[in-house]
Structure formats: C-alpha cells, structure tokens
Amino acid sequence: MATIGGGYAVASALAFGMPDVQTQNYYANQIRNLSSMGSASGFSEGFLSAAIKVVDALDANTIINKATAAVNKIRGFLRANVISRLVTMEDLQVAGSEMQRYLMVDPMVRERTKEQRMHGYKDTYTDPFPHLATEDHPDYRDSMTGIVQSNDQGDTFWMQYQHNRNVHEEPEQNSLTSEQKFCIVDSRAMMREFLAAGGKDPSDGWNGDL
C-alpha cells in the first residue's frame, strides 16, 4: 500500500484546514516577547524554546507546500501509469514511472540531474544506463526515432535510431506510437520551461525548490 509522509502539521492541515495566519502570528509574537524577557517572564528557557519550535512547525508556507505535495501525490497514485501529455507543474511532479523514464533522458534534465541541480525523481527513478551518452541511451532513441528535430543552426532533420542490444543489453524495445512520442516530446518541452523559469522543481513529487 502506498503511504505519504509529511508530519503532524501537514496531516492536520489536510484534515482540518490551514491554521489562521493572524492567530498564528499572534502566538508567535507573544512567545517571542516572553522569550526576550528571559527569566523575568516566569517561564523556563526550555519551555520557551519548545514553544517556539511548535509555532515554527506550524509555518503556513511550509504547511501549504507540503500539504499541496501530499494531495498531488495522492492524485498521482490514482492515475494510470501510461504515456500521456504532461503540461502542468503538478502533472510533471507526480509523473508515473513510464513517463519518468522518458522525461529523464531529456539532455537538459539528464545533465542537471547529474549535477544535482534538480531532484530527478530520485525516489523512484534510476538510470539503467548512466554510462551512455544521452544520444546513445535506448529510452532517448526509442522516443526520438522518426521525430523531426532542429539543430543550433535552425536546420531540421530526423533520425532512425538503431540499437546494438549486445552492447547495451537493454530489455526488448517498446514500440512507441507516434502519438506517444509527441506526448513525450511535449512533456519534455514543458519540463524545460519550468526549469528555465526557476522556482519549484518539476521532478520533485514533494514540491521542492530547484
């Protein structure tokens, strides 16, 4: 059975809604004022330190971020694990394993993942051919064979890739339809746009930052 973590604060937010921000700020200010008074407040340092940690744990932005990620995870579990066009940040973050394998061989995505500049679905995806250049990767070739591409000079071309299965030792090649290839290409383009924009990581199911 799939499980989703997130802590007590996130579970409370999902079940009962977000804590009121004004109330949260009021308690935070009161506790910090008491803390600044030191022993004169009548409370021990240990108590005040623990109280501050409780307030900090209820930080609204953190809860919203984690609660949103948890909901997206649930939606991801309910989706069919098939090749489909992913156009939103949430769609990409909870991509199934069938889409992950093709998203992760995009040249920009693969390079940034190797440089640890993005999450790269590391909880659920492992590159079966990390030693191969991207253009030699079976999943890249499967998804790009017959697809019209353009080079840096603006010239268009298409490739009919072939595999040396004795060298790469990959499982039998899947037969991707033209529609599936277009879905993969479009989804990769959206991921690159999100990466270029910065902010949230489209390859992190927990809605982390780049």
Per-residue pLDDT of the chain (210 residues; tens, 9 = 90+): 445 455 545 555 555 455 555 655 655 565 566 556 554 445 555 655 665 565 555 555 565 566 566 656 666 555 678 899 999 998 999 899 999 999 999 999 999 999 999 999 999 999 999 999 998 999 999 998 888 766 666 666 555 565 544 444 454 555 789 899 999 999 999 999 999 999 999 999 888 899
Res 59: pLDDT: 56
What long-range pairs does 16-23 form, CB within 8 A, spacing at least 24?
18/60, 18/63, 18/64, 18/67, 19/58, 19/60, 19/63, 21/60
18 C-beta neighbours (distance < 10 Å), count: 14
3-state secondary structure of 157: strand
**113 and 166 share a domain?**
yes
- Could you tell me which residues come within 8 angstroms of residue 192 by beta carbon, excluding any fewer than 6 positions away? 106, 108, 109
Res 167: pLDDT: 46
**149 and 99 share a domain?**
yes
CA angle centred on 175, ends 96 and 136, rounded to 5°: 80
Give exposure, 113-137, as e/b (b: 16+ Cβ within 10 Å): beeeebbbbeeebebebeebebeeb
| 167 domain residue, yes or no | yes
**88 and 133 share a domain?**
yes
Residue 107 burial (C-beta neighbours within 10 Å; 0-12, 13-18, 19+): middle
**98 and 189 share a domain?**
yes
| 70 domain residue, yes or no | no
| 76 domain residue, yes or no | no
**103 and 192 share a domain?**
yes
| 202 domain residue, yes or no | no
Res 16: pLDDT: 46
User: Which residue bears the tokens 């022993």?
Assistant: 39
Q: How far is it, in rounded angstroms, from Cα 203 to Cα 104?
A: 9
Instruction: Quote the number of domains for the chain.
Output: 2
**181 and 94 share a domain?**
yes
**89 and 164 share a domain?**
yes
- The model's pTM is 0.63
**111 and 152 share a domain?**
yes
Contact at 8 Å (CB) between 151 and 162? no
Where in the sequence is the domain holding 28, given as residue range(s)?
A: 9-61
| 106 domain residue, yes or no | yes
**24 and 101 share a domain?**
no
